[in-house]
Amino acid sequence: MARKRLLLALFVAIAVKSSAYGVMFTMLDDYREQFGISEGALGLVIAIGFFTSFFAQLTIAPLADRGRSRQLIFVGLTLAIIGNFAMAFSDTLPQLLGSRFLSGLGLGCALPAMRRVIIVSDKEHLGRNLGRVLSCEVGGFAAGPVVSTFLVEPFGIPAPFIVIGTVLTAVALVIFAMPIPEVPAEDHPTERFAVDLLQDRAVTAGVLIGIAVFFMIGTFDSLWALMMNDLGAPTWMANTGVTLFVLPMVFMAPYGGKFVQLDRRCVCIIRGVVVRGARPHHDIRDYGRRDGAAHRRCTSTRRRTLVDAREYGRQSHTRLSPWRTATATVSSAASAAMPTGVCTVPQVCCSYEPT
């Protein structure tokens, strides 16, 4: 029962933290009109959070494999809470950059550590739980536009960040009051940084999938609200578009995780890529239905591929610690690559067979 409560609290924390990103993306036009910040500067505000998170996941997050999960969760959530409240009262570019820097650093510390705890807490349902992590991430992201719809117009720009920061504070207090399982000393990895794992082909394949898919998603999210505003579309349409984009991931990710836990990763990746590539990238109308499902398949498969080796004792992957591998690939969300690169990933994965 205590384990279930801990998992539930971690899932809620992930969803709440992700909602702050959904709020930010759909409020870009508000920042541009009320504070006079250009589109390029707003893009920098978005980017600094992701690149800060990327750096933290490469250098700081691996400490979760050395028995520091609780400390990383504490530091990460604290920084994320401070960043959210700072965003509420920021009205200039330097203030927004500083707030996003704190939020990104907090996310890079806390999120990998929380995933690490989820992995070691319930190894028998590893794939399903990682799918639920994805559901919480994209579900929270989808809830962000809904929060901004109800709060921004009557209460102003600070309202969503204050609400999210308050809820995240409450969830953090619940997590800190619970015992958090750590990695046994004998299972501590020898690698110092997450990039060391790129020598393994399975890790490299996961990174390629993450780069290609998240590049497309980041481009869509950062342009959608601005494009809708320039076209004269109502606010609810912009918010609804972002929500519809991620709905398939919310409901299908746990099933994708269970599917790939049966060691059918390559089949799942190919299906996701085929669905995603069925229509051109610029066809916005089909983003929510097609790309959402494809991202669910690819992302759940990527995470499951990289963590199953240590949990189930595959000899070819025995040197990989469960969470260091997930840390390395999740950080690829902040990387940049050509979107068409996702089409090459099935060949990479299918040509690799564990020995």
Q: Tens digit of pLDDT for each residue in 1-15?
A: 678 888 899 999 999
Instruction: Please state, in angstroms and rounded to a whole number, the distance separating the CA atoms of residues 25 and 14.
Output: 17
Give kind and range of the element (H or E) at residue 282. Answer: none
Instruction: Supply the mean pLDDT for the chain.
Output: 72
The lowest-confidence range among 65-69, 75-79, 215-219, 347-351 is 347-351
| Res 17 pLDDT > 50 | yes
At 278, give phi and psi (nearest 5°).
-70, -25
How much is the average pLDDT of 76-97?
Answer: 92
Q: Judge whether 204 and 198 are in contact, CB under 8 Å.
A: yes
pLDDT tens for 274-315 read 555 544 444 444 434 444 444 444 444 444 444 443 443 343
Instruction: Please state, in angstroms and rounded to a whole number, the distance separating the CA atoms of residues 24 and 145.
Output: 9
Q: Judge whether 266 and 219 are in contact, CB under 8 Å.
A: no
| pTM of the complete model beyond 0.75 | no
Position 225 scores a pLDDT of 72
Position 79 scores a pLDDT of 94
Higher-pLDDT residue of 102 and 210 is 102
Instruction: Please state, in angstroms and rounded to a whole number, the distance separating the CA atoms of residues 143 and 146.
Output: 5
pLDDT tens for 197-251 read 777 777 787 778 777 767 777 777 667 777 777 878 777 777 677 667 777 777 7
Q: Judge whether 96 and 45 are in contact, CB under 8 Å.
A: yes
Sorted by where each starts, the structural domains of the chain and their CATH numbers stand as 2-350 (1.20.1250.20)
Higher-pLDDT residue of 191 and 222 is 222
Q: Which residues contact 177 (CB under 8 A, 6 or more apart)?
A: none
